[in-house]
């Protein structure tokens, strides 16, 4: 990828990419997603171990030499559409639209 195309990611300029460059970007995104998944899995393992250590010491805070970990509960309430009258749902519900990307294999 030439420098002008690399700058397009920084400046949000629209630049034409060749099919090979697009393929390369998709593959790099896939590699990044896989690495992020692996990191999230490792993070969950460390949190599980730290939770067990906290349970063992009957505490919600543990400190290392330069960092500390605090454990807390987060609660959220929500309503299900089928559990409340339609007029109330229509009046008080909020909608959010988000842009999503899905990566999948081509069917050739």
Query: pLDDT by residue (tens digit) across 10-31?
Result: 655 667 888 999 999 999 999 9
Which pTM value belongs to this model? 0.64
Token readout for 63 is 């400190």
pLDDT in tens, the chain (108 residues): 555 555 555 655 667 888 999 999 999 999 999 999 999 999 999 999 999 999 999 999 999 989 999 999 988 888 888 999 999 988 988 888 888 888 777 776
| 82 occurs within a structural domain | no
Q: Which domain holds residue 46?
A: 3-72
| 79 occurs within a structural domain | no
Neighbours of 50 (CB within 10 A): 13
Cα 24-29-35 angle, rounded to 5 deg: 125
| 28 occurs within a structural domain | yes
Report the domain count for the chain.
Answer: 1
Helical residues (DSSP H) of the chain, grouped into ranges: 3-11, 19-57, 86-92
């Amino acid at each position: 990828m030439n420098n002008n195309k690399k700058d397009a990611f920084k400046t949000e300029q629209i630049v034409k990419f060749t099919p090979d460059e697009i393929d390369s970007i998709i593959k790099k995104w896939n590699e990044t997603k896989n690495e992020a998944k692996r990191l999230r899995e490792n993070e969950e393992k460390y949190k599980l171990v730290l939770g067990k250590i906290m349970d063992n010491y009957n505490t919600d805070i543990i400190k290392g030499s330069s960092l500390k970990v605090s454990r807390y509960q987060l609660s959220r309430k929500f309503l299900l559409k089928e559990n409340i009258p339609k007029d109330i749902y229509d009046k008080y519900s909020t909608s959010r639209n988000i842009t999503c990307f899905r990566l999948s294999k081509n069917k050739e």
